[in-house]
Amino acid sequence: MTFLLDEIALATARLAEAGVPSPRTDAEEIAAFVHGVPRGMLHTIKDADFDARFWEGVARREAREPLQHITGRAYFRYLSLEVGPGVFVPRPETEVVAGWAIDRLREMDVASPVVVDLGTGSAAIALSIAQEVALAQVHAVEIDPVAYGWAKRNILEHGQGRTTLHPEDLADCLPELNGQVDLVISNPPYIPPGAIPRDPEVRDYDPSRALYGSGEDGLDEVRAVERTARRLLRPGGLAVVEHADQQGNAVYWLFAEENGWRDVRLRQDLTGRDRFVTARLTQD
């Protein structure tokens, strides 16, 4: 194992110099992927079994290609998902958004809650809810054909028969469920068109359709989510929408009382930044 440890140390130094935020972790993940073992089993790799493809992966990461594109996997809550070019790589902050929804669904006095995930991407949120909420019936909506393909793969692997994928636009999807849904959740595109993400992994590799929102403020898709949630939800149903950390107040006011919303709250991620808005449809 000495040789592999030395190679991982060298790779860590290279990745750190390239500005990779978690160089040691990424070097170990690449080593584990190339050698076909979990990270915790790297010590079992004999020197004679070292695979030189490790350095190919390190070079790709050094160029700031996302780790998830190199390994083909993204970890989200308790799931390992297939991802790659053409689909948004799920982020840790979205795990908090999904976790809030999961907690509320567990508290509902509903035997089999109906959930809609608008703009599902890799299906990370939809599948987490299906996995963690007993008897939940989850509908995942994705219009982009490439992202739809990734979602389909992940649902086939993890869907457990309770996640249905729909190739529809989030603005007018699922009219057959009008007034019947217990919770609508979405991580829609919301970056304003003029803003450029700082991280090259996001800027250069995530699909622009999943990043950049329409309209001058980038929030037209969030407005569409609000309208769709208002149409789909039963009285008392919940809406959960992720946004950028500087958009909290703007998104908060999109869920207006005159449109039937109440209990509107601006909520934070684990770093204390504004991350998502929740609202309840009036029961009157």
pLDDT tens digits, one per residue of 235-275: 999 999 999 888 999 999 999 999 999 999 999 998 999 99
What would you report as the CA-atom Rg of the chain, rounded to the nearest whole angstrom? 20
What pLDDT does residue 208 have?
85
pLDDT band at 197 (very low <50, low <70, confident <90, very high): confident
Tokens (6 digits) for 267: 């909520």
In a domain, 69, yes or no: no
pLDDT at 113 over 60: yes
| Average predicted confidence (pLDDT) for the chain | 93
Q: Is residue 8 part of a domain?
A: yes
What 194-202 contacts at long range (C-beta under 8 Å, 24+ apart), as own/partner pairs, is 200/64, 201/64, 201/65, 201/66, 201/89
Residue 1 reports pLDDT greater than 60:
no
Looking at the structure, tell me whether residues 145 and 97 fall in a common domain: yes
Last residue of a domain, one of 43, 63, 83: 63
Mean pLDDT of 185-196: 88
What does the pLDDT average to over 76-105? 96
pLDDT of 226 reads 98
The residue-averaged pLDDT of 142-154 equals 97
The pLDDT value given to residue 154:
97
Of 46-50, 62-66, 105-109, 140-144, the least confident: 46-50
Q: Are strands 261-268 and 137-141 parallel, antiparallel or unpaired?
A: unpaired
Does residue 26 lie within any of the structural domains?
A: yes
Q: Which tokens belong to 276?
A: 């998502």
At position 277, the amino acid (one-letter code) is: V
50 and 84 both lie in a single domain: no
User: Per-residue confidence at 199, pLDDT binned at 50, 70, 90?
Assistant: confident
Domain final residue pick, 39, 63, 87 = 63
Please give the annotated binding residues, written as ranges: 142, 187-190
Residue 112, pLDDT above cutoff 80: yes
Local structure of 102: helix, strand or coil: helix
The reported pLDDT for the residue numbered 148 is 97
18-54 pLDDT, tens digit each: 999 999 999 999 999 999 998 888 888 888 888 889 9
Do 112 and 154 lie in one domain? The reply is yes
Domain extent for 193? 74-281
- Asked whether residue 150 falls in the same domain as residue 206, the answer is yes
As for how many domains the chain has, the answer is 2
What is residue 48's predicted lDDT score, i.e. its pLDDT?
83
- Please state the residue numbers annotated as binding site for S-adenosyl-L-methionine: 142, 187
Residues 133 and 226 grouped into a single domain:
yes
Question: What is the predicted pLDDT for the residue at 100?
Answer: 98
Task: Kindly state whether residues 195 and 252 are assigned to the same domain.
Answer: yes
Predicted pLDDT at 284: 67
Integer CA distances (angstroms), 208 to 90, 213, 253, in order: 14, 9, 26
Q: In whole angstroms, what is the distance from residue 206 CA to residue 210 CA?
A: 7
Q: Which helix (H) or strand (E) holds 137?
A: strand 137-141
pLDDT at 159 over 80: no
Residues 6+ apart with CB under 8 A from 197: 191, 203, 206, 211
Looking at 32, 63, 94, the residue that finishes a domain is 63
Q: Is 68 inside a domain boundary?
A: no
Quote the strand ranges of 187-283, DSSP E. Answer: 233-242, 261-268, 274-281
Looking up residue 156, the CATH number of its domain turns out to be: 3.40.50.150
Say if residue 32 is in the same domain as residue 149. Answer: no
The answer as to whether 113 is a domain residue is yes
Question: Residue 257 domain-assigned?
Answer: yes
Same domain, 44 and 86: no
* 244 in the same domain as 136: yes
Same domain, 148 and 190: yes
Q: Are residues 139 and 248 in the same domain?
A: yes
Q: Please indicate, yes or no, whether residues 45 and 141 belong to a single structural domain of this protein.
A: no
Pick out the residues of the known binding site for substrate.
187-190
199 belongs to a structural domain:
yes
Give the number of other Cβ atoms within 10 Å of residue 260's Cβ. Answer: 16
Query: What's the average model confidence in pLDDT over 137-150?
Result: 97
